[in-house]
Structure 1
Amino acid sequence: MTPSQPDEHIIEAIGRSRIVIRDGVIVEIGDARIKECPLAKRFAHPVPIITKDAVRANIEHRMKAFGMCTPRRDVLDTKEFVGFGATELLGFASQVGLIDAAVLACDGAGTVIVKKPALIQGVGGRMSGLFSTSPIPDVIRRIEENGGIVVDKVHVSLDQFSGVKRAHEAGYRKVAVSVARPEVARKIRDAYPDTLIFGVHVTGLTRGEAEEMVATADLMTACASKTVREVAGAKALVQAGVSVPIFALTNRGKEIIIEKIRQSNEQVLIKPARLPSLDASQPDPLI
């Protein structure tokens, strides 16, 4: 990090609260758009009702527990936080050879290309929507020491298209990427049609945006999106979870979920159903 670059990280987390962390201190917490989320209630530091004080306590816990947005940031982890979460599925897909690299976003490093399952989970498992970040040399070093590639070590930009391009230049062919915006997903699909695209952080998408993402992605989380539940649910081949579902929209996405179930020792209910199939415990409100 050069002297002219501030140590500032902006994330959207826990009900789409905008959080600014500067020099290791939370300096801003915006109003959440969601009041309750079933996943937030199961966090390591739970958030039963989404208030600014609860969001602050949760983010401070993340900073203390694994160094989020600080030089102490852990980048390796093997613990699954959500059985069918995005990084859990991508880490599993890497482990069994269904993908050979994942393009993710990491605080302190920006867009990164990672292969090792523990690095995939460590980078993405506890990270929410990263809006912008600044370089943290220790984090960049740890990622590289574990075989990862930091696409832009100077500005740590968030550019998933450039990440996919760089992954192909590095020799990877079965590339997966997490994408939040449908126009970026479309750009990647058009240029690199074999990419496995995972739609994430989709709360608040308009119906048109949801339709574009669903038409492009292989897998997609529902987050707190009403439109994604409606549009993705109608097209999905497989749904995993009923509170905050993951939808498999293509056979490639379906294969990852089914293979994870096949190799798991957990009990699973499988039955034909009209999707989406939702329980009473949904984020409130859905937007």
Structure 2
Amino acid sequence: MVKDHHVIEALGKTKVVIENGEVVSVGEPLVEYCPLFDKIDNAKKLDKDYIKWNMEKRIREFGMCTKERVVKMPDMMSFGISEILKTNRELGQIDCVVGVCEGVGTLLITDPEIIQGVGGRVSALISTTAIPEVIEKVGKENVLNPDTADLDPIKGLEMAIEKGYKNIAVTILPSRTILELREYPLPDDVNVYIFVAHTTNASDEEVEIAFKNADVITACASDKIRDYAEKEEVYYSGSKVPLFAVTEKGREFLDNRLEKIGKALTAKDYPLKRETHPYPLI
């Protein structure tokens, strides 16, 4: 029997290991302060004790990394990536999201509430093992590999195309796989939109690949993402942890969400006011 083992990069890009519903390891955070978690939990410092407490809270509240996992949840933020995807799925701008979930691996999501529930409460998923009860909740037919819970966005995209989806969004971490997604040979009637998350400590190469190939990118605690966006004067929204709309379609997706929640639309107000952003930026 495969050991229940889930690796997540969480607050401050901290490696966290969860087994059998217990936090068994918390690494060293790379970021000391994040305004989002200050707002959510009044957390003034991202230390190991707080990160462990936060992970345990997620396990208690929605069953993260357990068979009790709740997969349909309300919005977490005003306009995070999952909220943007949820809104644009509701509007019919996106047919399907290729995403990931602990206990499931790569999966196809068409239900807006599952888009939010799966993506809105978990940071970067590095590896996971299958939890059959969670797989049943999201639909076994939507899971890339129900036995091994593989994380493979390229194969996820292939699966979405095979199922006949035409406007496909893919969520992904900074990597050369972004380039593979953009260069994937698509049928003429298929569009792929790339959403890049968890960019803290991304390399120069990863940042350049992201801005040249993605549609929407989160700033997280990345100095390089902010530097590149300022150089190119990319449209964005958010005063503390901006989301950058790199393409016109990305801007449309972001503006659709902002319009729904009554916020001002994307802007090009530079330089960014970094004194309100996470610390340190890396």
Q: Which residue of 1 aligns with 2:14?
A: 17
Alignment match of 1:176 (pick from 148, 169, 175): 169
The TM-score normalised by the length of structure 2 is 0.94
Deviation at 1:238, TM superposition (A): 1.9
Q: Which residue of 2 aligns with 1:150?
A: 143
Q: Which residue of 2 aligns with 1:229?
A: 226
Deviation at 1:24, TM superposition (A): 1.2
Contact 1:237/1:254 (<8 A) preserved: no
Map residues 135-214 of structure 1 onto 2, 5 A cutoff: 135-144=130-139, 149-192=142-185, 194-214=191-211
Alignment match of 2:100 (pick from 89, 92, 105): 105
Whole-Å separation in 2 of the counterparts to 1:225 and 1:133: 25
Q: Give deviations 1:167-208, integer Å, cap 9, x for gaps.
A: 111110100011113311110110156310001111111222
Whole-Å separation in 2 of the counterparts to 1:60 and 1:42: 18
Q: Which residue of 1 aligns with 2:5?
A: 8
Q: Which residue of 2 aligns with 1:220?
A: 217
Deviation at 1:46, TM superposition (A): 4.7
Cα distance change on mapping 1:125 and 1:236 into 2, 3 Å: farther
Cα distance change on mapping 1:236 and 1:7 into 2, 3 Å: farther
The TM-score normalised by the length of structure 1 is 0.92
Whole-Å separation in 2 of the counterparts to 1:40 and 1:125: 14
Contact 1:236/1:247 (<8 A) preserved: no
Amino acid across the alignment from 1:75: V
| Percent identity over paired residues | 33
Alignment match of 1:248 (pick from 240, 245, 248): 245
Asked whether 1:71 is paired with 2:67, we answer: yes
Q: Which residue of 1 aligns with 2:127?
A: 132
Whole-Å separation in 1 of the counterparts to 2:62 and 2:42: 16
Contact 2:254/2:266 (<8 A) preserved: no
How many corresponding residue pairs? 278
Asked whether 1:278 is paired with 2:273, we answer: yes
Deviation at 1:270, TM superposition (A): 5.3
Amino acid across the alignment from 1:129: A
Q: Give deviations 1:78-122, integer Å, cap 9, x for gaps.
A: x22111101000111100011100011100000011011101001
Q: Which residue of 2 aligns with 1:122?
A: 117
Amino acid across the alignment from 1:183: R
Whole-Å separation in 1 of the counterparts to 2:273 and 2:68: 39
Secondary structure in 2 aligned to 1:102? Answer: strand
Whole-Å separation in 2 of the counterparts to 1:272 and 1:221: 15
Whole-Å separation in 1 of the counterparts to 2:274 and 2:56: 31
Q: Give deviations 1:12-45, integer Å, cap 9, x for gaps.
A: 00101110111111111000000000112233x4
Whole-Å separation in 2 of the counterparts to 1:23 and 1:184: 31
Deviation at 1:276, TM superposition (A): 5.1
Contact 1:35/1:51 (<8 A) preserved: yes
Whole-Å separation in 2 of the counterparts to 1:51 and 1:131: 21
